[in-house]
């Protein structure tokens, strides 16, 4: 991401066009914008950090959001830069996640005071952070000279980049993700890249172990835990070695307590990327936060290790490693996945054909959502005045009733399949607020952050009307609500069914409503439960 070219007429990717000014940008369309950084901030996004910059080109402001980072070299207040990416809505602002960027030479004072039209633009106030993002540190760093700044009149391409991130995604264990990762590493090594193994979990499989031959392995860190000696990736050693590429298997893995500063391996990966090291990793579809609860219901097995969706979606490339259910079961019978003593139980439980079909479908749908952008860009370029059905905006209306977290995750999957943003809204009613609600709301906020959704709490004595008013203000096209909890809703609205009322009001407003059955699964995540508590129960 350190450098890229800008042609006079930017038409890469088979004729895709880009907006050159912020005022011309539209959601889900490409932008190539040059401007000045007016404000920077480090915020919490999901369970990780994000570095946010406000770019002003004189026609408007664009938020630049670098997921998993606390700083970006050279991108400070006052810096001039050019960015390229796809614009999306973050609350009521346009934002670009993980854009390509290039630091530009400072604009001479006479030109810096003029916008594209020649008029002097008004001073731009620092904007609030994007909706759904909790501010961790408000004060921006003091402006300082960029270490990569070029001489006046020249453009600098020497920007310290984050590492590139590639993920091999599979439906379940045994599809060949780790083997595919190792094959990729060997190909890169043959082309001259400096590749090391940070950690690869062979699980005793001879085929996987054989693929590691010829690759440098950074020694693991031994850790004693509960009377046993275990090994984890030595993050500090990998950073000191600083290869071009490091292999980090099983992205959702929970680190052994005492093995390092991070609880989760995906947090180790973010630090490696921050250090400018390319990372190749693997993950199974059931470990994504928005999908895990559905997998629990399908398979009857608790998914204890989870990774936030935004971490996976941050990847520069996601490649599906596919295998048919029949082939997976044959591998199981041949002892290529689990030890022989575990095979009968696996075949009659998690590895049933119907489970494998469902998991494969989830993986295919997730990947299809990721690659749909080129089709959407083509549709937008067509000469028509129609409103595209793909321009959806989802809102999930939540209460503190049991099972509401599942509604958020279900809504997140719906929004992802439609390439849409998701906002989660809770209506506060002063006369029914209970002390126990605070803990449940905090848990729901964490779930919303984990799936990349915005969080909103609004006041209203009539929840149905308040939700529809919110939908109008935010141009919501789809409202997702849970099935009626009659006693609870009657407390809120004084009698009657809020589902029916929302449906009637939504029809008048032209908003679709989707009603989701509430489910409570004791094997899943419990409200207020920490990740460590979930791992040990």
Query: Per residue in 319-349, pLDDT tens?
Result: 999 888 888 898 888 888 888 888 888 888 8
**Residue 439: which residues within 8 A CB-CB, separation 6 or more?**
527, 528
Angle between helices 404-417 and 436-450 (to 10 degrees): 20
Query: In whole angstroms, what is the distance from residue 442 CA to residue 432 CA?
Result: 17
CB 287 within 8 A of CB 303: yes
Query: In whole angstroms, what is the distance from residue 147 CA to residue 397 CA?
Result: 47
The reported pTM is: 0.56
**Residue 141: which residues within 8 A CB-CB, separation 6 or more?**
40, 71, 76, 77
DSSP per residue over 422-435, as a string? EEEEEEE-GGG--T
Count of other CB atoms within 10 angstroms of residue 90: 21
**Residue 420 CA neighbour count, 13 Å, CB half:** 24
Distances (CA, A) of 287 to 30, 282, 420, 502, 509: 31, 11, 22, 33, 37
pLDDT value at position 87?
82
pLDDT value at position 521?
47
Paired with 153 in beta bridges are: none
Sites in the chain below the pLDDT cut of 70: 1-17, 45-48, 68, 91, 106-162, 369-391, 430-436, 484-496, 519-537
pLDDT value at position 26?
85
pLDDT value at position 98?
77
Domains detected in the chain: 12-137 (2.40.50.140), 165-371 (3.40.50.300), 384-516 (3.40.50.620)
pLDDT value at position 159?
38
Distances (CA, A) of 327 to 250, 332, 366, 465: 22, 9, 22, 53
State phi, psi for 48 to the nearest 5 degrees.
-130, 175
Query: In whole angstroms, what is the distance from residue 529 CA to residue 323 CA?
Result: 35
CB 323 within 8 A of CB 357: no
Task: Write a three-state SS string for 192-228.
Answer: CCCEEEEECCCCCCHHHHHHCCCCEECCCEEEEECCE
pLDDT value at position 350?
87
Q: Which residue's entry shows tokens 């020249």?
A: 154
Query: In whole angstroms, what is the distance from residue 101 CA to residue 65 CA?
Result: 12
Query: In whole angstroms, what is the distance from residue 322 CA to residue 300 CA?
Result: 23
**Residue range 467-511, pLDDT digits in tens:** 998 988 877 889 999 886 555 545 444 445 778 888 888 888 888
CB 245 within 8 A of CB 188: yes
pLDDT value at position 47?
55
Query: In whole angstroms, what is the distance from residue 44 CA to residue 42 CA?
Result: 7
CB 205 within 8 A of CB 336: yes
DSSP state at residue 144: -
CB 287 within 8 A of CB 251: yes
**Residue range 264-298, pLDDT digits in tens:** 999 999 999 988 899 999 999 999 988 888 888 88
Q: Which residue's entry shows tokens 């392995």?
A: 217
Q: Smallest Cα–Cα separation from 448: which of 498, 404, 401, 499?
A: 404
pLDDT value at position 137?
27
């Amino acid at each position: 991401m350190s450098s890229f070219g800008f042609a006079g007429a930017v038409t890469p990717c088979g004729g895709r066009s880009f907006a050159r000014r912020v005022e011309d940008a539209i959601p889900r369309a490409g932008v190539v914008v040059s401007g000045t950084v007016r404000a920077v901030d480090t915020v919490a996004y999901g369970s990780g950090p994000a570095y946010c910059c406000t770019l002003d080109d004189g026609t408007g402001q664009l938020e630049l959001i670098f997921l998993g980072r606390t700083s970006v070299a050279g991108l400070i207040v006052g810096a001039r830069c050019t960015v390229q990416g796809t614009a999306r809505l973050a609350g009521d602002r346009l934002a670009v996640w993980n854009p390509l960027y290039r630091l530009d030479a400072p604009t001479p004072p006479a030109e810096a005071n003029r916008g594209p039209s020649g008029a002097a633009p008004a001073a731009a106030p620092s904007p609030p952070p994007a909706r759904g993002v909790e501010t961790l540190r408000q004060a921006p760093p003091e402006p300082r000279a960029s270490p990569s700044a070029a001489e006046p009149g020249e453009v600098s391409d020497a920007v310290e980049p984050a590492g590139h991130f590639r993920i091999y995604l599979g439906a379940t264990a045994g599809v060949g993700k780790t083997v595919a990762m190792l094959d990729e590493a060997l190909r890169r090594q043959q082309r001259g890249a400096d590749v090391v193994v940070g950690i690869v979990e062979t699980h005793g499989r001879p085929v996987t172990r054989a693929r590691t031959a010829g690759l440098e392995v950074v020694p693991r860190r031994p850790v004693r835990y509960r009377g046993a000696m275990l090994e984890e990736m030595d993050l500090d050693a990998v950073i000191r070695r600083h290869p071009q590429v490091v292999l980090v298997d099983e992205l959702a893995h929970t680190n052994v307590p005492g093995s390092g500063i991070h609880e989760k391996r995906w947090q180790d990966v973010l630090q490696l990327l921050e250090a400018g090291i390319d990372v190749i990793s693997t993950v199974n579809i059931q470990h994504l936060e928005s999908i895990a609860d559905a997998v629990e219901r399908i398979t009857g097995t608790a998914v204890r290790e989870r990774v936030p969706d935004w971490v996976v979606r941050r990847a520069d490339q996601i490649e599906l490693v596919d295998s048919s259910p029949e082939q997976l079961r044959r591998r199981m019978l041949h002892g290529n996945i689990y030890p022989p003593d575990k095979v009968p139980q696996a075949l009659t439980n998690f590895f049933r054909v119907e489970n494998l079909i469902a998991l494969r479908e989830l993986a295919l749908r997730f990947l299809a959502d990721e690659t749909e952008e080129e089709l959407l860009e083509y549709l937008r370029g067509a000469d028509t005045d129609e409103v595209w059905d793909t321009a959806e905006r989802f809102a999930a209306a939540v209460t503190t009733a049991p099972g509401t977290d599942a509604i958020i995750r279900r809504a997140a999957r719906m929004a992802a399949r439609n390439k849409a943003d998701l906002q989660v809204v809770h209506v506060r009613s002063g006369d029914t607020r209970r002390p126990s609600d605070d803990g449940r709301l905090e848990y729901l906020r964490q779930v919303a952050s984990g799936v990349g959704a915005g969080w909103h709490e609004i006041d209203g004595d009539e929840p149905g009307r308040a939700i529809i008013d919110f939908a109008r203000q935010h141009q919501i096209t789809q409202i997702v609500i849970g099935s009626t909890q009659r006693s609870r809703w009657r407390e809120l609205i004084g009698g009657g069914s809020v589902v029916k009322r929302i449906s009637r009001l939504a029809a008048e407003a032209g908003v679709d409503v989707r009603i989701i059955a509430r489910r409570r699964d004791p094997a899943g995540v419990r409200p207020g439960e920490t990740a460590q508590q979930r791992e040990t129960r």
